[in-house]
Amino acid sequence: MMDDYTLPFWIYLGVVTVFVGGAMKRIVASHLSAAPTLVAWLGATVLVERLWAFCLPAVLLLALLAFACCLYSARTGPPPTNLPAHGKAVFITGCDSGFGKATAKHLDSLGFEVFATVLDLTGDGARDLQRTCSSRLTLLQVDITQPQQVHQALLDTKAKLGLQGLWGLVNNAGVCVNFGDAELSLMSNFRGCMEVNFFGTLSVTKSFLPLLRHNKGRIVNISSPAGDQPFPCLAAYGASKAALNLFTNTLRHELEPWGVQVSTILPSSYRTGRSSNRAYWDQQHKQLLQSLSPALLDEYGEDYVTEIKDLFHSYASQASTDLSPVVQAIVQALLAPQPRPRYYAGPGVGLMYFIHSYCPFSLSSWLLQRLFVKKKLKPRALRKEGLEINLNLLNNNNEEKLQ
């Protein structure tokens, strides 16, 4: 029976096999949760079974897949033991609150010597770190957009470390200073996001790289899925994180000969900083309305801008307050013998990237629009246009009836 099939047929089957095998490898590497992984395996099995039904029994195919799973499990074996934290120094930016503050506390409890930067040494975050952490933790007041402050932090860190060297750099400091359509966002918002999220991180990384190369240490950059996927109303923030992601990936290749490992953390939605503060969103909303020209505000409508503000506040208030997945991902990136290039920290991120990588772009885009900021209103000009079209259609129908 198999002699009846031509060479192109077998080439086609070979291409399908390579595709499915590559997909399985990406799925396993993505470290998705059990349910999506199982669904993906079953889906791939059904796909191959439908294509090969006339030349390979489905039972045999399942047996082959099970055998491949066994081989993979046997090859990977038990996870290797993490490196010891004792005697290792880590520099963390943006520790006033959120991921930075939680990470500084946890790393200090593990025995790291932590250098934590804050914007305000007298603020609540700094006082909390001083009160709850050991004497090993050093607080430094640093605005990463100010080169002089970054350089001074480097001098202070080197002075305290001496010959010990720096093991890890965690670039956590970041801002999201805009919400709304790209046309509605000020140029200062785009520049503000780039200044902190990209240029500030770049400045810190370049300054501390000699210390990291000396120790063959680790760089961990906290990024966002918005840097890879087109989240609505986050153009300024997403563009800055996209620049950070590309820089991180390039740095990973360049530092490999030096023995420095570079990882990206991609968190899901978490309630950090001022994100759940209604007063913060009201202030952002007020500033946005004041900055828009009368013509642009008329075309979009104040109710359209207000709806976006309410949606962002609602989304942020429902975000998780348990920051432990992100903190644990940072620990793994610092202490795993072979850290991953990317860590998906939090529920749904791995699945989101799987859909983004393997499903049609239209599906990924539709999910982002439906799950992130679920707008109900159109811009006012489009609503007027739609109303005029409906009125014209109604008038035409009435004229046809009269005729």
Classify residue 107 as exposed, middle or buried by CB count within 10 Å of its CB (0-12, 13-18, 19+).
buried
Quick check: 166 and 157 in contact, CB under 8 A?
yes
| Residue at token pair 């680790």 | 218
**Residue whose C-alpha is closest to residue 185's, from 319, 24, 300:** 300
CA dihedral sign of residues 92, 95, 98, 102: positive
In the structure encoding, which two tokens stand for residue 397, read together? Answer: 């129908």
Strands 138-141, 113-118: pairing is: parallel
Q: Is 300 annotated in the active site?
A: no
What the block records as the tokens of 213 is 């190369």
Catalytic residue among 5, 12, 72, 237: 237
Nearest to 134 by CA among 109, 99, 115: 109
> Is the alpha carbon torsion for 333, 142, 236, 97 positive or negative?
positive
Q: Which residues have a Cβ under 8 Å from the Cβ of 97 and sit 6 or more positions away?
A: 125, 272, 273
Residue 395 DSSP symbol = H
Query: At residue 77, what are phi and psi to the nearest 5 degrees?
Result: 65, -170
Q: How far apart are the first and last CA of the chain?
A: 69
Dump strand ranges (E) for 180-252.
218-222
Q: Please choose, from the candidates 260, 171, 266, 174, the residue with its C-alpha nearest in 3D space to the C-alpha of residue 220.
A: 171
Do the beta carbons of residue 217 and residue 210 sit within 8 Å?
no
User: Phi/psi at 392 (nearest 5 deg)?
Assistant: -65, -45
Residue 36: CB atoms within 10 A of its CB come to 16
Neighbouring C-beta atoms of residue 258, cutoff 10 Å: 13
Catalytic residues: 237
